[in-house]
């Protein structure tokens, strides 16, 4: 029998999806003992999530796997337009330039990040994360089901069942991460409070193989919305053909009425649906899998209790609209991992862990609302095509939309307005990159005032060095004369004190503190030169001021005004680090049990 102070590992992770695998990779990269377990015998077997936005790719970049992921991705340029058409072979209704690839938005995306968007289906992304986590020391166990856990003031004892041997056993860790998906048992066991509803609409998905290149290769698009009466049911009111691997592997999707029970997914019905969506009655189709999924609109208001933390689908449950799912999962994990690592290594007090919920729960609430609203935003587009009383006629819809009449003019104007609305799903750059954190791990700048948004914050990124924002991307030049990003010279498991050539006091202060987790970045020096003046334009502080950038790339504190003497710089930096890392509120062994002792058994 293990004593309370004997640990099999530092962190146990239940679930090997984007949340669990990213957390395992990030923790292992920082040298933390981590053990990840899954009830399944392998990783994702269907291409669920696929859009990988710039922030998620930045996480991959920080963890050293961006180039590997890009090898398996549909490149940014090939993600292409989103098409609205009567069938792949039929007449188009409209095209929308999406994922920042259009002329109007391309430059915005290039300015915001050193990373492009990628399309990496989940069965290809998860093995990249898991393999690298394993190579860096993470343990991984499959065919093992979580049963229950008990917390005490020092750690968590977790009971598992090995499905190969049929035996139950326990593992003890300092912390437990519930990355066990939308039906999270761990979230239920710790009593996380949720808002919203589950299963408010149903969708059928069929994975199939067919060579459709003659319909799409000349107009690359990973998403094709089919405005066809056969697929006209439900909130979206359109069918979907999604390219999984261009242009031979696809998903066909359509809504179904849950009141009628499970949809008919017989071979004949599925084949007829696919042929109708494609517009080819003789199409040869190799159906791989058939499944149903349900539209959820639910989020947790709190992500942790004591030593147990949940992330990803366990705490924000929503449809794939807007492509925010796996991206948010990976960012949850990246936020949590460095904090756990710092507490385990003794760099921070346990109070730092409270910032995880405070920072990520608002993001979860936001993306659940956005994804569900994106589904509803198809309504105006449908209204331009459907003829009252003739909803089952494609010909009537086309004739109405193309009529050289005052009504036709009005409908075409409404079509353009409806397409503009869909930018909030397909070009929502601000939704993806404008997160602002508020917690004890962020010290507000008292001189900054409330942030004013120059453009729509859902559509456009606003770079800023305000505490709580991600450090802006700016191209610098490295020692070899190659371009390197501000994101490359910060992060990677450490706090970064960023200053300029005039910030010698800060450089000396950091050297005197000599913290193993703190680096100094002097922009303008060899290795981080600013010949473009790109950093100068966005830094928002005096050259002799300073930013303190967290390991996850978010700004924890800044001194906008110049500081010239070392003693002042050292005092300010020490005070900021102590506050952010919880050193001024560090829990003692006597009071840990009073605030962090919980028992939950399923």
Residue 338 to residue 156: CA distance in whole angstroms: 19
Judge whether 392 and 230 are in contact, CB under 8 Å. Answer: no
In this predicted model, what pLDDT tens digit does every residue of 486-513 receive, in sequence order?
Answer: 999 999 999 999 999 999 999 999 999 9
pLDDT at 595: 30
Torsion of CA 477, 538, 60, 323, to 10 degrees: -140
Compute the Cα dihedral for 313, 318, 320, 322 and give only its sign: negative
Buried/exposed code over 185-208 (b: 16+ C-beta within 10 A; e: otherwise): bbbbbbebebebeeebbbbbbbbb
Q: For position 73, what pLDDT does the model report?
A: 96
What whole-number distance in Å separates Cα of residue 330 and Cα of residue 105?
Answer: 25
Residues of the chain with pLDDT under 70: 1-5, 584-602
pLDDT digit string, tens, across residues 533-552: 999 999 999 999 999 999 99
- Reading the block at residue 152, the tokens are 């005490």
What pLDDT score was predicted for residue 4? 57
Q: Residue 84: which of 340, 316, 307, 382 has the closest Cα?
A: 382
* Structural contact between residues 375 and 321, judged by C-beta atoms closer than 8 angstroms: yes
Q: Is 457 exposed, middle or buried (0-12, 13-18, 19+ CB in 10 A)?
A: middle
Provide DSSP, 436-457. ---STTS---TTT-S---SS-T
Q: At what angle are helices 325-344 and 18-29 packed, to 10 degrees?
A: 30
Phi and psi for 309 in degrees, rounded to 5?
Answer: -125, 135
Q: Flag whether the pTM goes above 0.85.
A: yes
Structure tokens at 47: 């291409």
Specify the 3-state DSSP secondary structure of 206: strand
- Return the beta strands (E) in 25-88 as ranges: 34-37, 51-52, 81-85
What distance in Å separates the CA atoms of residue 555 and residue 437, rounded to the nearest whole number? 9
The predicted pLDDT at position 590 comes to: 33
At residue 600, the pLDDT reads 35
């Amino acid at each position: 029998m293990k004593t309370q102070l004997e640990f099999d590992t530092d962190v146990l992770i239940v679930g090997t999806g984007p949340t669990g695998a990213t957390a395992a990779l990030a923790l292992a990269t920082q040298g933390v003992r981590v053990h990840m377990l899954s009830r399944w015998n392998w990783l994702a077997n269907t291409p669920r999530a696929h859009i990988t936005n710039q922030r998620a790719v930045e996480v991959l970049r920080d963890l050293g796997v961006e180039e590997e992921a890009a090898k398996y991705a549909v490149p940014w340029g090939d993600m292409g337009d989103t098409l609205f058409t009567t069938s792949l072979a039929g007449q188009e209704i409209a095209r929308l330039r999406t994922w920042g690839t259009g002329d109007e938005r391309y430059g915005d995306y290039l300015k915001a990040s050193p990373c492009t968007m990628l399309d990496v289906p989940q069965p290809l992304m998860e093995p990249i994360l898991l393999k690298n986590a394993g190579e860096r020391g993470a343990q991984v166990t499959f065919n093992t089901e979580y049963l229950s856990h008990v917390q005490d003031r020092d750690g968590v004892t977790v009971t598992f069942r090995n499905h190969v041997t049929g035996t139950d056993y326990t593992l003890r860790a300092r912390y437990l991460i519930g990355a066990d998906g939308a039906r999270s048992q761990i979230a239920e066991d710790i009593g996380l409070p949720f808002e919203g509803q589950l299963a408010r609409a149903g969708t059928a998905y069929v994975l199939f193989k067919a060579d459709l290149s003659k319909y799409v290769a000349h107009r690359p698009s990973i998403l094709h919305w089919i405005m066809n009466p056969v697929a006209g049911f439900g909130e979206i009111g359109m069918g979907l053909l999604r390219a999984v691997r261009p242009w031979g592997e696809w998903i066909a999707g359509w809504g179904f009425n849950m009141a009628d029970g499970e949809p008919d997914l017989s071979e004949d019905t599925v084949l007829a649906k696919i042929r109708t969506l494609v517009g080819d009655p003789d199409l040869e189709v190799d159906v791989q899998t058939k499944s149903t999924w349900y539209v959820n609109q639910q989020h947790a208001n709190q992500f942790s209790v004591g030593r147990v933390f949940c992330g990803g689908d366990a705490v924000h449950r929503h449809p794939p609209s807007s492509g925010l799912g796996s991206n948010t999962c990976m960012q949850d994990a990246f936020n949590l991992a460095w904090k756990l690592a710092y507490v385990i290594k003794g760099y921070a007090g346990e109070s730092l862990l409270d910032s995880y919920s405070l920072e990520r729960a608002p993001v979860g609430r936001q993306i659940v609302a956005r994804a569900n609203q994106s589904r509803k935003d198809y309504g105006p587009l449908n209204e331009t095509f459907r003829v009252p009383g003739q909803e089952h006629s494609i010909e009537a819809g086309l004739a109405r939309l193309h009529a050289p009449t005052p009504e036709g003019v009005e409908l075409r104007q409404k079509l353009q307005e409806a397409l503009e609305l869909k930018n909030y799903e397909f070009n929502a750059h601000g939704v993806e990159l404008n997160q602002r954190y508020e917690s004890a791990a962020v010290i507000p700048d008292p001189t900054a005032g409330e942030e004013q948004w120059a453009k729509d914050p859902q559509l456009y990124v606003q770079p800023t060095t305000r505490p709580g924002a991600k450090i802006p991307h700016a191209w610098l030049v490295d020692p070899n004369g190659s371009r390197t990003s501000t994101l490359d010279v910060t992060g990677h498991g450490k706090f970064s004190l960023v200053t300029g050539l005039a910030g010698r006091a800060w450089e000396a202060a950091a050297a005197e503190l000599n913290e193993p987790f703190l680096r100094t970045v002097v922009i303008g020096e060899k290795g981080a030169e600013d010949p473009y003046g790109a950093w100068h334009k966005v830094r928002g502080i005096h050259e002799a001021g300073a930013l303190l950038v967290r390991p996850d790339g978010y700004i924890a504190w800044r001194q906008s005004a110049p500081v010239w003497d070392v003693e002042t710089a050292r005092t300010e930096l020490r005070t900021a680090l102590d506050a952010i890392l919880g050193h001024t509120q560090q829990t003692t062994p006597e009071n840990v049990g009073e605030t962090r002792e919980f028992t939950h058994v399923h």
